Structure 1
Amino acid sequence: MPPTLGLLLAAAAAVLLLLLPPPPSAGAQETCWSGPAPRRGAWMSVASFGARGDGQTLNTGAFARAVARIARRRGARGGTLLYVPPGVWLTGPFNLTSHMTLFLARGAIVRATQDTSSWPLIDPLPSYGRGRELPGGRYMSLIHGHGLQDVFITGENGTIDGQGGVWWDMWKKRTLPFTRPHLLELMYSTDVVVSNLVFQDSPFWNIHPVYCSNVVIANLTVLAPHDSPNTDGIDLDSSSNVCVEDCYISAGDDLISIKSGWDEYGVAFGRPSSGITVRRITGSGPFAGFAVGSETSGGVEDVVAEHLSFSGVGVGVHVKTNSGRGGFIRNVTVSQVTLDGARYGLRIAGDVGGHPGASYNASLLPVIDGVAVRNVWGRNVRQAGLIRGIRDSVFSNICLSNVKLYGIGSDSIGPWRCRAVSGSALDVQPSPCAELASTSGTGFCT
């Protein structure tokens, strides 16, 4: 899909959602990133390294040579910009380096090869212990980075195209030998900006910063068919000080999800996701608009998500974990949410997600303490919400305020259902379940 069509889809969705009553205004619009990428001390084009933008020539070597040249110039003042001109640049996976900008011009498409045999295998993430889908290693992302600093991936709404259909078919036919690749994965990296691009048809999760800090993701369009398996839009994983804003996402799984490792591996690695801001996100998809989990074994804390507009989603806001996860989810605030079409407005559940092996430790129980959902308006919602804890664990300080959800047409909406949770509710339609019926609370709820 050309980038102009992706932007038209984003604009159309934004117009549709404007027909809904907007949440209360937050005043002046805050932003984490508004300026262009920094001026680099040097500039080079991938075409200068033998790449051809004809959609046929495989340019993996040219990208590798260009990045290697930039790595050798690390002492260059201000770093180096790698320019991708208009055209279709077919490539296999390649790495980035520090102090660089990858810049896609308007009309530039970096397109993944469909020859899956040419994709390198890399080690599983230590906080997952194995590939997310299958034991063993996993395929390297199309654009990858490890231990980087000062990296910009940006442009003039150029496109990064994963051509994921061949991978989705292998998943559906159960012929995958290893876990599918992401479009973009950065590991152990800091001072990163990803902006002003279109990501489409990822084989697996689209954008995955893991073990990173000081990350801004802004002004993106992320597209994948709604029946494409596990094509999460943006997954923030064991990362801190992250801001995601002003994005349109239409994908086959959760649009935005916050994670921190899987069962005993995530507990042992022990790196939480923290200090995360998500705002002004629109989109649609069959699963959650905004999610925490289900892999949260390293912990998730201090999250603010606001001004979210979703249509045709499975769940508006989904906080999910499971026995065997361990970890914690605390101090999460979601506000100013508009929904048009959802199976559930809100779901907080302790029975979601599989395990890396049959021998997982079921006694590792997660704790949820402090989830506030405020100022939500939704229509065409089938069921208001499901809030279900785990016996012998703690799911406390679940707080709902000014949450108004309505059914489909003249149909009544399904009621709230709660179990093994505690918290409070104020000004909630339909009437909240008894576990949250109190209008007063302590600590996080006040």
Structure 2
Amino acid sequence: MGKILICLALGLLCLDLAECRNFKIDTEKVEYSAINCRKHSAVLTDFGGKGDGKTSNTDAFKAAIANLSKVSSDGGALLVVPPGKWLTGSFDLISYFTLYIHKDAVLLASQEESDYPLIDPLPSYGRGRDAAGKRDVIIEYLTIIAPVDSPNTDGINPDSCTNTRIRDSFVVSGDDCIAVKSGWDEYGIKFGKPTQHLSIKRFTCISPDSAVIALGSEMSGGIQDVRAEEIYALNSQSGVRIKTAPGRGAYVKDIYVRNLNFDTIKYVFWMTGAYGSHPDDGYDPNALPQVTNINFKDVFAKNVTYVGDLSGIQGDPFTGICISNVTAEVATKKKSVNLYENAKKKVKLPWNCTDIGGVSSRVSPTPCDLLPEKQVDCAFPGDTLPIDTVVLKTCSVGV
């Protein structure tokens, strides 16, 4: 199974090869981490890259990755992005590959529309190239910063991925910081590739208009066994949000979340069964999603607008919701002296619940009646996911 590693390096790597060949370490050594120490290596500058913040490096990235792909299965490949500001459009990564970004290297998104060519969608979204999803993905020490007023700037999107690990990363986004997906309506149902065994830990997000972690709405291949812990959010719209609708089919189940700390957030808990955009008219409105076994525990949030807005689907409720050990401090607003205007304003309740079922324990403010108080400690698995047993090796190169 192919493995991809994305990491932010702590030391400068300067390699002296231009043709993806082996090299000898004959000067100072610098260490880096990888799934396996890569046999073949190259530096972006070997392919014409310029880190001046002005020159486009789209072609350099594509040339480097195309060159490294020829030998990636022969001991793996490493591409080093050295210090500098590297302007680039989109490019694809490959398997058995480490993208090594120096701590003083910044990838700048090109503002040229031509740097983002349209590609056929995956078959799980309607048509296009056959793809089985990614074979073990590790993302660590990654910083992504997008304008918070720019839509559709998701940070990290695991889509139809099995065994994915996200660690120690920071995203500023105008959309979801992490968006978990697996295909859209009838196409995703037919393709049937879930996102599963996803591990997220020590993750920080700023997203004023969207979620820290979103599950869906395109989840028609299924989402299962997601484990998120030690999550921090500042000035974000929602925490872990579930988005689905009739026509999606499949499931979102076995979701385990703990140790959340939010400062200034609109919704601590947000689930909706009415996120209803569709790729075309061919979807089956009777393909109802199953949302069950959703667990949240050990949550602290301050400056909160709404604690929970949980809305399932009529006739297809979201079940098995468990929320325990939660303190949410609802923001207070200055009262207007205009009594007439105050009387017209609708009172905002901290919780809204429809078509859901579950329990709560030690939650403040008190949840809705559909989450009755029980003496429970919501589940978090005691076993270890296979991707979390992967130990990165310490490797070294000459500089």
Q: Per-residue deviation at 1:374?
A: 1.0
Determine the C-alpha separation between the residues in 2 that align with 1:405 and 1:285.
19
Paired position in structure 2 for 1:274:
196
Question: Are 1:372 and 2:289 matched, yes or no?
Answer: no
Find the aligned partners of 1:119 and 1:249 in 2 and give their Cα distance.
21
**Among 208, 215, 229, which residue is 1:306 paired with?**
229
Counterparts in 2 of 1:345 and 1:45: CA distance versus 1, 3 Å: closer
- Alignment partners' CA distance in 1, 2:61 and 2:377: 56
1:330 to 253, 258, 266: 253
Measured after TM superposition, the shift of residue 213 of structure 1 is 3.4
Sequence identity (%): 40
Deviations 1:313-337 (A, max 9, x none): 1112211211111111111111111
Q: 1:445 to 1:351 in 2, by over 3 A?
A: farther
Partner of 1:183: none
Alignment counterpart, residue 129 of structure 1, candidates 117, 126, 139: 126
Contact 2:144 2:172 in 1 (8 A): yes
Counterpart-to-counterpart distance in 2, 1:319 and 1:225: 24
C-alpha contact (below 8 Å) 1:373/1:401 kept by paired residues: yes
- Contact 2:317–2:356 (CA under 8 A) maintained in structure 1: yes
Q: Which has the higher mean CA deviation after the structures are superposed, 404-413 or 312-321?
A: 404-413
Structure 2 letter corresponding to 1:431 = T
Distance 1:324 1:221, change over 3 A: same
Q: Would the aligned equivalents of 2:297 and 2:378 in 1 still touch at CA under 8 Å?
A: no
Paired position in structure 2 for 1:252: 174
Partner of residue 104, structure 1? 101
User: Do residues 285 (structure 1) and 207 (structure 2) align?
Assistant: yes
Task: Indicate the residue corresponding to 2:353 in structure 1.
Answer: 418
- The two structures have a TM-score, normalised by structure 1, of 0.68
Q: Deviations over 1:233-288 (max 9, x none)?
A: 11211111111121111110111222111111111111111111111112211211
SS state at 1:414 partner: coil
2:259 counterpart letter in structure 1 = Q
Map Cα deviations across residues 156-185 of structure 1 (whole Å, 9 max, x no partner).
xxxxxxxxxxxxxxxxxxxxxxxxxxxxxx
Query: Cα 1:357–1:218, aligned 2, differ >3 Å: closer, same or farther?
Result: same
Q: Deviations over 1:189-247 (max 9, x none)?
A: xxxxxxxxxxxxxxxxxxxxxx2131111111111111110111112111111111211
Which residue, out of 423, 430, 438, partners 2:365?
Answer: 430
User: Aligned equivalents of 2:368 and 2:84: distance in 1?
Assistant: 56
**Aligned residue in 1 for 2:396:** none
Residue 72, structure 1, aligned to residue 70, structure 2: yes
> SS state of the match for residue 70, structure 1?
helix
Distance 2:95 2:303 in 1: 47
Write the mapping of 1:162-181 to structure 2, written as runs, cut at 5 A. Answer: none
CA displacement 1:96-133 (0-9 Å, x = unmatched): 44444333345444445433235433211111116xxx
1:241/1:274 contact within 8 Å kept: yes
Number of residue-to-residue matches in the alignment: 338
The one of 81, 85, 88 equivalent to 2:82 is 85
Code of the residue aligned with 1:250 in structure 2: it is V
Amino acid at match of 2:353: C
What is aligned with 1:157? none
TM-score (norm 2): 0.75
- How far apart in 2 are the matches of 1:253 and 1:303? 20
Matched, 1:39 2:52: no
1:340–1:379 Cα contact (<8 Å) kept: yes
Higher Rg of the two aligned structures: 2
Distance 1:345 1:417 in 2: 12
- 2:392 corresponds in structure 1 to none
Aligned-partner SS, 1:436: coil
Query: What is the letter of the counterpart of residue 329 of structure 1?
Result: V
Q: 2:363 corresponds to which letter in structure 1?
A: V
Structure 1 residue matching 2:68: 3-state secondary structure: helix
Cross-structure match for 1:321: 244
- TM-superposed CA distance for 1:440, in Å, is 6.0
Aligned residue for 1:235, secondary structure, equals coil
Q: What is aligned with 2:395?
A: none
**How far, CA to CA, are the matches of 2:59 and 2:371 in structure 1?**
59
Unaligned residue ranges in structure 1 (runs of 5+): 1-6, 8-33, 131-136, 138-145, 148-186, 189-210
Q: CA, structure 1 residues 374+79, in 2 after alignment: closer, same or farther (shift >3 Å)?
A: closer
Q: Does 1:228 align with 2:150?
A: yes
In the TM superposition, residue 65 of structure 1 has moved relative to its aligned partner by: 3.7
SS across alignment from 1:236:
coil
Does structure 2 conserve the Cα–Cα contact (< 8 Å) formed by 1:398 and 1:445? no
**Higher RCO, 1 or 2 (CA under 8 Å, sep at least 6)?**
2
2:374: which partner in 1?
439
1:356 to 279, 282, 296: 279
296-305 or 349-358: which moved more?
349-358
SS of alignment partner, residue 284 of structure 2: coil
Distance between the aligned counterparts of 1:250 and 1:122, measured in 2?
26
Cα gap change, 1:445 to 1:370, in 2 (>3 Å): farther
C-alpha separation in 2, matches of 1:61 and 1:378: 45
Residue type at the aligned position of 1:298? G
Residue identity opposite 2:291 in structure 1: I
Residue in structure 2 matched with residue 152 of structure 1 by the alignment: none
Measured at CA, do residues 337 and 103 of structure 1 come closer, stay the same or move farther in structure 2, by a change above 3 Å? closer
SS in 2 for 1:127: helix
Structure 2 partner of 1:217: 139
Change (3 A) 1:279 1:445: closer
- 2:193 partner letter: R
